[in-house]
Each structure stands twice: as structure tokens, then as C-alpha cells.
């Protein structure tokens, strides 16, 4: 994440702010132009009054680039669902911005927003099917209970996971979508991914069942970023993709605060993604050792409770180069990217 300043008074503002806390200006964010003063330019996203979306829309009365990816919102007759929806969208906007800046497609061949997000809650009806967070055919379903800190922490402990956040969920689920999109009609890419993550034609349902019954094989951390990554090649890809995003975003944020020497890495997401993963991982490990210690000094949980073993970095490199390749202009097979869409 970059740092942003108020267009009116130059005070630092947070990415999620709708109002500058120093001068009171109403803030409007455009993914290409940054922040402006709502009074001076543009149209607010139609979701602004309800969920404090601070992004701009192409015209009055329509959704912004991020909100239009959400095709199902939670049942708003449940009052607490408005806050859950807001929390999810607040975590989703940085993701959409990152995908946009990386030049990954944000629309399908028909020009419709993709991936689509369906934010659903359990109805309390015991006979109704459970809402499972996951991806299928360009649609990401997110159980809105994940927006409740206490509930998410309960699930994290129950599943024995070291890390569970909305940001992590979103980065993981979009990976499944981009596996599909970036390998569509590209057998060469599919072969490359299969060579490094394994054969995804392995029965997915059976693989997941076996994972939940038996757990990860001993020594998994020498080859996988998480225990869940061992479940199936698709999950390995999604878990590893999420960690490529964690590294890129974490490093850009650290750069913005002067925590990384300018000579060590070129500045900004667009440049970082073009660096070999081994260099990025080296800088990240150095940074996270320090941040882990700072967190411990505060009595917090470990900031980055993961090991980047060399085979994991090699998998991250495959994903990083796939992203760069998808972004290159000569990639004729890719659907139109978001930047090719009308403003």
C-alpha cells in the first residue's frame, strides 16, 4: 500500500477514509488518479452512504470499480450485516486496486466484472445448505461470519491455523479465479503450473477429504507455505499466490515508510513485481524478523508466522512471472484488462 495525503490540506490520510480528519474535506479515491476532494470532482460510488466506500464512480448513481465486483450483498434486514458488508468491502478495495495496478484482468470476455463476489450469511435454518467460502467459475463466495473478529478467531483456533484474516481469504480466493483465467486456452502455462504445483486433475473432493482426515504430511513446511497448501495443487497455488500478494503489499508499505533501503529494491508495486522472487523474499524475511520481534515486544501474536523454504520461493517465482507475463502487452490470449475499460 502507498501512503496518501489529503488533496486539500496535505495531511496524511488512511486509504479507507471518506473524510480528512484534519480539515474535514470529503475524500474521493480514483484507482488511477488517487485522492481528490469530492466537492471539486467526480461522482461518489453509490454505496458511499451505506458502507463508507470512498471510491469514485464513472457517473452519478453507479458503483465504483471495486463495489461492482460484488454481485450478492448480505441480507440487510439483519442490522449487523451492514457492518459486516462494510468490513469486507474495506478489505476488498485494496485487493481490487492491487489487481488493477498489476494489470490483471478485472473483466471477463463479455466485459462484465470478474471475479464476482457473493457475500452470504447463514440463515439460521438448520436445513439450509451451509455457506462455504470458496471459488467456482469466477464467483467467490465469502461467508460474512468471517467479518466478525471473534468468530474468525474461533475458527482459526479450531482449524489450528497460524493466520486467518479477510485480506488473506480474499487474496486466496482470487487466486483460484486467476488460475482459470490465465490458463484458459494456454496449455503452455497449464503445463508449467502443473510441473511446479502438481497435477490439478487429481480428484479435488477426495483430496480435501483426505486432507481433513489425515492432516498435512510430516515435513510439509519444507515444500509448502501452509498445511492447507498440501491438500491439492489448486490450494497450493492459491496459498502461495496469497503470499506473493502479502510480500508485494508488505514490501511496498514498508518502502513507503522508509523501512527498506532505496538501493535494496526498486520502489513501488509495479517495479517490485518485476524483481526476482529470491530478492523480494530476502528483503521480506529480513523485514519480518524485525516485525515479528516488535510484535512480540508488544505481546501480540507473531506478525508473519510462516517459513519461506526455497521450494516455496520457487513456487512464488512461478506465480510472480505468470503475473508479469499476463500483464505484458503481447499477451494476446488474455481478456481485456481493467485499464482497457472505460474510465
Q: Give least dist CB 126 to Zn ion, A.
A: 26
Q: Which stretch binds Zn ion (CB under 5 A): 16-24, 27-35, 207-215, 261-269?
A: 16-24
Q: Which of residues 60-99 bind Zn ion (CB under 5 A)?
A: 64, 67
Binding residue for Zn ion, selected from 29, 35, 55, 284, defined by CB under 5 A: 55
Q: Give least dist CB 327 to Zn ion, A.
A: 23
**Closest CB to Zn ion among 45 and 114?**
45
Do residues 308 and 284 make contact, with C-beta atoms less than 8 angstroms apart? yes
Residue in this structure with the C-alpha cell 489529503, named with its chain if needed:
6
Q: Give least dist CB 331 to Zn ion, A.
A: 25
53 binds Zn ion (CB under 5 A): yes
Answer positive or negative: Cα dihedral of 165, 248, 139, 51.
Answer: positive
Binding residue for Zn ion, selected from 1, 15, 16, 23, defined by CB under 5 A: 23
**Closest CB to Zn ion among 9 and 333?**
9
Distance CA 208, CA 231 (A): 6
Binding residue for Zn ion, selected from 17, 18, 36, 47, defined by CB under 5 A: 47
| Strand, helix or coil for residue 32 | coil
Answer positive or negative: Cα dihedral of 302, 308, 309, 312.
Answer: positive
Q: Give least dist CB 56 to Zn ion, A.
A: 9
Q: Give least dist CB 21 to Zn ion, A.
A: 8
265 binds Zn ion (CB under 5 A): no
Binding residue for Zn ion, selected from 38, 45, 225, 283, defined by CB under 5 A: 45
Q: Give least dist CB 25 to Zn ion, A.
A: 5
Helix/strand/coil (H/E/C) assignment for every residue in 105-158: CCECCCCCECCEEEEECCCCCCCCCCCCCEEECCEEEEEHHHHCHHHHHHHHHH
Q: Report the candidate in 213, 209, 240, 139 with the shortest Cα–Cα distance to residue 180.
A: 139
Q: How many residues bind Zn ion (CB under 5 A)?
A: 16
Q: Which stretch binds Zn ion (CB under 5 A): 25-33, 99-107, 149-157, 219-227?
A: 25-33
Distance CA 314, CA 223 (A): 10
9 binds Zn ion (CB under 5 A): yes
- Cβ–Cβ contacts within 10 Å for residue 189, how many? 18
6 binds Zn ion (CB under 5 A): yes
Cis bond before residue 115 (omega within 30° of 0)? yes
Q: Give least dist CB 12 to Zn ion, A.
A: 10
Distance CA 195, CA 246 (A): 24
Residues lying near Zn ion in the complex (CB under 5 A) are found at 6, 8-9, 11, 20, 22-23, 25, 45, 47, 53, 55, 64, 67, 235, 238
Amino acid at each position: 500500500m502507498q501512503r496518501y495525503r489529503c488533496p486539500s490540506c496535505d495531511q496524511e490520510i488512511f486509504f479507507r477514509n471518506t473524510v480528512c480528519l484534519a480539515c474535514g474535506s470529503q475524500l474521493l479515491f480514483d484507482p488511477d488518479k488517487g485522492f481528490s476532494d469530492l466537492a471539486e470532482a467526480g461522482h461518489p460510488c453509490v454505496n458511499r452512504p451505506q458502507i463508507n466506500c470512498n471510491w469514485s464512480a464513472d457517473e452519478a448513481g453507479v458503483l465504483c470499480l471495486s463495489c461492482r465486483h460484488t454481485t450478492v450483498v448480505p441480507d440487510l434486514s439483519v442490522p449487523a450485516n451492514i457492518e459486516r458488508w462494510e468490513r469486507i468491502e474495506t478489505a476488498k478495495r485494496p485487493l481490487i486496486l492491487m489487481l488493477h495496478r498489476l494489470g490483471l484482468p478485472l473483466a471477463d470476455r463479455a466485459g462484465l466484472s470478474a471475479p464476482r463476489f457473493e457475500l452470504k450469511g447463514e440463515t439460521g435454518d438448520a436445513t439450509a445448505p451451509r455457506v462455504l467460502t470458496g471459488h467456482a467459475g469466477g464467483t467467490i463466495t465469502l461467508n460474512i461470519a468471517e467479518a466478525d473478529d471473534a468468530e474468525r478467531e474461533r475458527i482459526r483456533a479450531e482449524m489450528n491455523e497460524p493466520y486467518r484474516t479477510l485480506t488473506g481469504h480474499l487474496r486466496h480466493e482470487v487466486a483460484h479465479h486467476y488460475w482459470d483465467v490465465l490458463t484458459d486456452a494456454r496449455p503452455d502455462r497449464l503445463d508449467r503450473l502443473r510441473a511446479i504445483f502438481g497435477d490439478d486433475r487429481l480428484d479435488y473432493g477426495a483430496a480435501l477429504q483426505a486432507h481433513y482426515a489425515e492432516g498435512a504430511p510430516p515435513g510439509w513446511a519444507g515444500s509448502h507455505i501452509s498445511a492447507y497448501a498440501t491438500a491439492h495443487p489448486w490450494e497450493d497455488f492459491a496459498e502461495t499466490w496469497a503470499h506473493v500478494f502479502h510480500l508485494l503489499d508488505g514490501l511496498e508499505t514498508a518502502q513507503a515508510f522508509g523501512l527498506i533501503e532505496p538501493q535494496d529494491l526498486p520502489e513501488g508495486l509495479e517495479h517490485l513485481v518485476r524483481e526476482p522472487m529470491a530478492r523480494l523474499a530476502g528483503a521480506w524475511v529480513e523485514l519480518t524478523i524485525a516485525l515479528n520481534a516488535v510484535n512480540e515486544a508488544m505481546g501480540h501474536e507473531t506478525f508473519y508466522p510462516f517459513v519461506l523454504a526455497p521450494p516455496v520461493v520457487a513456487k512464488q517465482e512461478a506465480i510472480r512471472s505468470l503475473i508479469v507475463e499476463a500483464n505484458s502487452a503481447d499477451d494476446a490470449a488474455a481478456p481485456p484488462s481493467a485499464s482497457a475499460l472505460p474510465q
